[in-house]
Chain A
Amino acid sequence: MTGQGAPGRPGPLIEVRGLRVDYGLGPDAVHAVIDADLTLLSGTVLGLAGESGSGKSTLAYAMTRLLRAPGIITGGQVLLHGGTGSPAEAGTINLLAADEGQLRELRWSHIAVVMQSAMHALNPVVTIGAQLTDVLAAHRVRMDKTERRERAAFLLEMVGISADNLRRYPHQLSGGMRQRVMIAMALALEPAVVIMDEPTTALDVVTQREILTELADLQRELSFAVLFITHDLSLLVELADSIAVMYAGRLLEQAAAADLYRAPRHPYTLGLLRSFPPLHGPSRPLTGIPGSPPDLRTPPPGCPFHPRCGFAMDICRTEMPPAFSTGAGGGRSATCWLQDRAHEVPAELAMAGPGSGPGAGPGPGGTRPAQAPLTDAVQPAGAAALPGPAAGLPEGGASLADPAAVPPGGGASLPDAASTTRATGPVS
Chain B
Amino acid sequence: MAVTTTEPAAVAVEAAPPLRGRRLRLPRSPKVLIGLGLLIVFLILAVVGPLIAPYNPSADLAASGTPQAPSAAHWLGTTQTQQDVLSQLLAGGRSTIVVSFLAGVVATIIAVVVGVAAGYLGGLADDLLSMLANIFLVMPALLLLIVIFGFLPASSNDLLIGAIIALTGWAWGARVLRAQTLSLRNRDYVESARITGESTVRIIGWEIVPNLLPIIASSFLFTVLYGVGTYTAIAYLGLVNIDPHWSWGGMLFWAQSVNAQVNGYWWWYIPPGLAVALLGTALALLNFGIDEFINPRLRAAGLTRRRARQAGIPARFPLGVTPVVRLPAGSPAGRPPGNPPTARPPADLPAARPPAGAGQVDTR
Contacts and interface: CB of A to CB of B under 8 A. Distances in A.
B28 to A, nearest CB: 17
Given A73-B323, A328-B361, A333 B352 contact: yes
A333 to B, nearest CB: 3
A299 B325 contact: no
B320 A328 contact: no
Contacts of B358: 330
Interface stretch (B36-44, B55-63, B140-148, B327-335): B327-335
A12 interface: yes
B336 interface: yes
B187 to A, nearest CB: 20
Nearest to A61: B322
A73 B359 CA distance: 28
Interface stretch (A64-72, A109-117, A178-186, A233-241): A64-72
Nearest to B358: A330
Nearest to A327: B362
A266 interface: no
B324 A26 contact: no
Contact of B336 (A34, A62, A322, A329): A34
A410 interface: no
B307 A25 contact: yes
A300 B355 CA distance: 32
Interface in B134-164: none
B354 interface: yes
Interface string A67-102: 111111111000000000000000000001100100
B336 A35 contact: yes
Nearest to B343: A319
A61 B322 CA distance: 9
B320 to A, nearest CB: 7
Contacts of A328: 361-363
A69 B334 contact: no
Given A74-B327, A345-B364, A301 B337 contact: yes
Contacts of B322: 61-62, 65-68, 71-73
A12 B336 contact: no
Interface string B332-346: 111011111001011
A317 B337 CA distance: 12
B356 A26 contact: no
Nearest to B311: A25
A290 interface: no
Contacts of A61: 322
A361 B361 CA distance: 13
Contacts of B353: 17, 37, 39, 323
B300 interface: yes
A27 interface: yes
Given A61-B322, A66-B322, A299-B337, A323 B351 contact: yes
A327 B356 CA distance: 12
A69 B300 contact: yes
Interface of A: 9, 11-12, 17, 20, 22, 24-27, 29, 31, 34-35, 37, 39, 61-62, 65-75, 96-97, 100, 103, 254, 299-304, 319-320, 322-333, 339-341, 345, 350, 352, 356-358, 362-363, 381
